[in-house]
Amino acid sequence: MEPPRSFDHAPALPAGRIPAPVRGAALDLAAGPGAGYLYDPALAADRARTLRKSLPGWARVYFAAKSNGFEPVLAHLAEAVDGFEAASLREARSCLAALRSRRPGTGYGSPGGGRIAVSGPGKTPELLAGLARLRAENGADVVVNAESELELHRASAAALAAGTVLPVTLRVNPERVPVSGALVMGGTPGPFGVPEPLVADAVRTALTLPGLDLAGFHVHAVSGNTDAAAHADYVRWCLDWARRTADGLGVDLRVVDVGGGLGVPFEEGDPVFDLEGFGAALGELPDPGVEVVFEPGRWIAAPTGWYAARVTDVKSSYGGRFAVVRGGINHFQLPTSWEIRHPFAVLEGGDPWPAGMPRPAVRGESVTVCGELCTPEDVLARDVRVESLRAGDVLVFPNAGAYGHEFAMPAFLAHPAAPRVTLDSRLP
């Protein structure tokens, strides 16, 4: 794990860039537990609807629950998506509960209430048995994105034991991925999916196992892509590859899952994904005659969440300035894990400062933001210039609604977990 990239003394975000309801809630949160997350679930649902309306009718939008599994977020999204992508039995159960609780007439998907696609490179027999029971005993519309021949055998055995048949798509690691992105997961050695040269053998296995219904292919090979034209070309390639492969191997192709991979801007000047252009490019394609699944997490949820943390101390050390905050990578590991520059805004602390207590501050200088953990890796931002920052102020990191709370390391040092609060960020 490396520290986030330096901001090279670029300025912090102005406080006005944070919506007023979020600023108020951040100050309240900092005055209580000191740090945590603020989510706008209705905004996440609106983003999902916007994405779906921009895509052709043959597209299906699932939400990747691993990016944000907070129950209020899932409940709102259940009314706006065709289904969910889960990566554990607990996630699958949470997604099923959200789908089952949505209001009549909302959401999309199958008559059974929306589909749950389950991914992951190492599905255990216990996980597959649980998924098969969800299908057999609860009527859940579950499809398994299978990632090896052994996994196919395990899925079939689990289905037969539960007295059902599990739909599967075969996750493929293609030899060539015609697009670049922040995280490329195809065309390179890795644990995800079946390497393309081994696909034919895996398909023959899937077609002969009695507990499986091979419905198609899953090709999730790129993440964090902000080039809409290149991503449209990638989807076009996925559809062409899936059709050619299915026809050549005798697969009744009904589903092509192209993964997520839609990126969001973090910094000023970062490219914004051209959703309108993306939808227009896909609209020019002929109807593929199959369900084409998109399963974004970050694009839907990232802009709908904020991480707020109270500054507990401001320190000087050998010419450096450090703002120490409540929390850190035990709450918000994203900047360090992805080595990204994650901007923040400074809110002046709302509570009166105790009389007689020193209040260290920096003005017009650059600071490095660190958490409270006993490790030098607990860094959220490096070398950010602030106009004024004092102990007791509050830092707010936008774009924290995806891979924030779910991606952290809360057990380290056993500090309190980050609370999560919902709000309406668009109130006047």
Contact 89, 111 (CB under 8 A): no
CA distance 145 to 92: 13
What average pLDDT score do residues 366-378 get? 95
- Amino acid 186: pLDDT: 63
Identify residue 290 by its one-letter amino acid code.
V
pLDDT band at 111 (very low <50, low <70, confident <90, very high): very low
CA torsion angle for 247, 251, 252, 253 (degrees, to 10)?
Answer: -70
Q: Across residues 9-15, what is the average pLDDT?
A: 97
Which pTM does this prediction carry? Answer: 0.95
Average predicted confidence (pLDDT) for the chain? 93
Domain at 15-39+305-422: CATH architecture: Beta Barrel (2.40)
What is the helix (H) or strand (E) element at residue 254, kind and residue range? none
Is 181's pLDDT higher than 60? no
Over residues 369-382, the mean pLDDT reads 95
CB atoms closer than 10 angstroms to residue 426: 12
> Count of alpha carbons within 13 Å of 336, Cβ hemisphere only?
22
Task: Write the single-letter amino acid at 262.
Answer: L
Q: What is the DSSP string of 191-245?
A: SSSEEGGGHHHHHHHHHH-TTEEEEEEE---EESB--HHHHHHHHHHHHHHHHHH
Q: Could you tell me how many helices (H) and strands (E) the chain has, helices first?
A: 11, 19
Task: Identify the pLDDT of residue 283.
Answer: 97
Quick one: pLDDT band at residue 112, thresholds 50, 70, 90?
Answer: very low
Query: Domain extents for the chain?
Result: 15-39+305-422, 41-302
Residue 104 pLDDT more than 80?
no
Give mean pLDDT, residues 292-302.
97
Superfamily designation of domain 41-302: Alanine racemase (3.20.20.10)
Residue 2 has what pLDDT?
A: 73
What is residue 258's predicted lDDT score, i.e. its pLDDT? 96
- pLDDT-above-70 percentage for the chain: 95
Q: Residues in the chain, how many?
A: 428
Arithmetic mean of pLDDT, 47-71: 97
